[in-house]
Structure 1
Amino acid sequence: MNLQNKTHGPVDPPLDCPACPRLVELREELKATHPDWHNAPVISFTSEKPRLLVIGLAPGMKGANCTGRPFTGDYAGDLLYKTMLDYGFAEGTYLARPDDGLQLRDAMITNAVRCLPPQNKPTGAEIKTCRPYLLSTLAANPSIRAVLALGRIAHETFLTALELKRSAFPFAHCAEHNLPDHGTTLFDSYHCSRYNTNTGRLTEDMFRSVFDKIRNKIP
């Protein structure tokens, strides 16, 4: 990826990151009520030299905010990891906990916002504040050739990070956007949340159709 002209910082925020007051307040409240939870920014989960980067929105309260591993402990992770296992982007057994031994293969998973937001809705300012960590993640992993954005916010955050016009690459489920200047292809999917699957907005077959395209791009 061509990120040479951008400024990069650490790949992941510190566990006591003070940058977003609203997120810090929620984090401190949860530390008091659930001291055994992770309750901190969630670092990316990766294999060595990943070619696929999966970008979600933010940690779920009883998912990554609890377990400390992206998409681990909630329904979205059940569908995501099952699909990644089926398509060879993970190996082992997913048991919804960070010590289950599951390993990614040729892949990385991160979030546009690394801390849990109230009602799972980060503000625009919080997304912007966390964007440098996405840039640093991309810069530190030049092996990435495909990006899967789970939902519109992840899609738009990725495009903004690369200083690309959103209007040129509209979000749509199963869309494929070639970004030759950045050496990668952006794929879109509706987020694999329980709400989307319960309402039929996203079915397992629809989700797998996106991974079919990804595997065709990076066999």
Structure 2
Amino acid sequence: MTNILISKLNNQIIQCKKCPRLSAYIKTISINKVKRHAHEKYWGRPLSGFGDSEAELLIIGLAPAAHGGNRTGRMFTGDNSGDWVAKVLHNNGFATKPTSHKIDDGFDLINAYITAAVKCAPPQNKPSKEEINICSYYLREELLLLKNVKVIVCLGKISFDTLKRMLGIKHQKFFHGNKFSYDDKTILCSYHPSRQNTQTGRLSWDQWNEIFLEAKAMLSN
């Protein structure tokens, strides 16, 4: 039943056009492609979450990448952030392979589900407050449907702040490694594995891996 309900929600997400600026942007960049992907057909629509509907681990990102998920049709697929996500999930037993390049590449999640605070790629990776609020409806529905989730990993401040507002969490701030309990769940905060963070050394591989080692340990207990 959960699979059916999630599939229904995902269809709603894919067809969503509630944010005119985002709808126009993902359409425009799907036509005016970057040179390295000029020969490819872009997805160019909102992106739903994906993974195991019975997952105990939920990962919340910011939004699809303009030439990553917005091109390939799957979050964290076909870009540098996706490389870090795929590798760390595979290393810790949450994915079937360490790479995520295209939608039919055999990359599947194990006891994990990936989604984002915003389902469309925003210009300059900066959704407006209104766009975040509109899209929060879908994240709220995902949280209701994913009934087995025990650990939530928030990638970046926007995803954390979105979840915080949604759940009414008080007296918690975003910083890498922050961990706290909320009801029957544990929430973990991590810097987003964007190039801006990974190539400047703000987020090292060891720091990144430690987040998922911790998530794995909590789910093993």
Q: What CA deviation, in whole Å up to 9, does each residue of 1:105-127 have, x standing for no partner?
A: 00000010000100111011100
- 2:189 equivalent in structure 1: 188
Work out whether residues 113 and 126 of structure 1, in 8 Å CA contact, stay in contact via their aligned partners in 2.
yes
Please state whether the residue corresponding to 1:15 is helix, strand or coil: helix
**CA positional deviation for 1:14:** 3.8
Matches within 5 A, 1:93-172: 93-165=98-170, 168-172=171-175
Is residue 23 of structure 2 the alignment partner of residue 24 of structure 1? yes
Offset at residue 11 of structure 1 (A): 5.2
Residue 107 of structure 2 aligns with an amino acid whose one-letter code is: L
Paired residue for 2:14? Answer: 15
Amino acid at match of 1:125: E
User: What one-letter code is carried by the residue in structure 2 that aligns with 1:177?
Assistant: F
Q: Which amino acid aligns with 1:189?
A: S
Task: In structure 1, list runs of 5 or more residues that go unmatched.
Answer: 1-8
TM-score by length of 1: 0.90
Taking every aligned residue pair, what percent have the same amino acid on both sides?
35
Contact 2:94 2:109 in 1 (8 A): yes
CA offsets 1:144-193 (integer angstroms, 9 cap, x no match): 0000000011111111111222xx1111111111112xx21100000001
Instruction: Tell me by how many angstroms 1:142 deviates.
Output: 0.6
Alignment check: 8 A CA contact 2:63 2:122 kept? yes
**Residues 123 and 98 of structure 1, relative CA distance in 2, 3 Å threshold:** same
1:90 aligns with 2:105: no
More helix by share: 2
Aligned match of 1:217: 218
User: 2:178 aligned with 1:179, yes or no?
Assistant: no
Aligned residues: 207
Gaps of at least 5 residues in structure 2 are: 1-7, 34-39
TM-score (norm 2): 0.89
**Aligned residues of 1:151 and 1:190 also touching (Cα < 8 A):** yes
Of residues 209-218 and 63-72 in structure 1, the stretch that sits farther from structure 2 once superposed is 209-218
Deviations 1:2-59 (A, max 9, x none): xxxxxxx935644332211110111231343358100001111111300000000000
